[in-house]
Structure 1
Amino acid sequence: MSNLIEDLFHGNLRLDESIHPEQEEYQEINRQISDLMQDYKTQLTDNEYDALEQLIDLIGQSTSMYVEAAFEQGFRTGGRLMIEVLAKP
């Protein structure tokens, strides 16, 4: 069994790599996205498709920043909850 503190110290914790949504719709949505992107690739000019990819990349960056902030907020809330629970006799 690995040591969480050691993994954290050595930078071995990659929580984002272990996230696998359990909703059945997740795989279907990703398939639909892939199909739509393939359709756009054939219908749009190269410049239009590049612009679409740039937009999608920016949305991905924005979403990643939001998820990171949500994770931090949840982690802090959990820490405060533990402090409150342990502080009460």
Structure 2
Amino acid sequence: MSILEDLYYGNLRPNESMKSCDPRAKEINKKLSDAMQIYQTSLSKDDFEQLEEMLDWVGELNSMHTAAAFVEGYRIGALMMIDVIKHKDF
């Protein structure tokens, strides 16, 4: 199957396979997990659910930003290819 077919059929989902190369990512993820455990035990059930809802909104916003950055990067890459081909000396 070609990459275009994978894209068409929804088999290409880079946001699901991306992992940060930054060594701090694992440490930050652990801190977030630990903090959520503390909040879950110290907040009321309703307050914790509100916190989870807010974090879901942050996640949605981050996803939108990531999608926009992906599209912009793709556009820039395509423009670079056009520029290379356009100015190629044969």
User: Identity over the aligned pairs, expressed in percent?
Assistant: 39
Q: Say whether residues 1:56 and 2:28 are aligned partners.
A: no
Aligned residues: CA RMSD? 1.1
After superposition, the C-alpha distances for 1:2-50 in whole angstroms (9 at most, x for unaligned) are 5322322322111112201112111111111000000001111111111
Could you say which residue in structure 2 is the equivalent of 1:85?
84
- The 5 Å alignment of 1:66-81 reads 66-81=65-80
| 4+ residue segments displaced more than 3 Å | none
Q: Say whether residues 1:17 and 2:16 are aligned partners.
A: yes
Q: Say whether residues 1:39 and 2:38 are aligned partners.
A: yes
Letter aligned with residue 3 of structure 2: L
Q: How many residues align?
A: 88
Tell me the TM-score normalised to structure 2 length: 0.90
Q: 5+ residue gaps in structure 2?
A: none
Separation in structure 2 between the aligned mates of residue 53 and residue 71 of structure 1, nearest angstrom: 26
Tell me the TM-score normalised to structure 1 length: 0.91
Separation in structure 2 between the aligned mates of residue 9 and residue 42 of structure 1, nearest angstrom: 45
Q: 5+ residue gaps in structure 1?
A: none
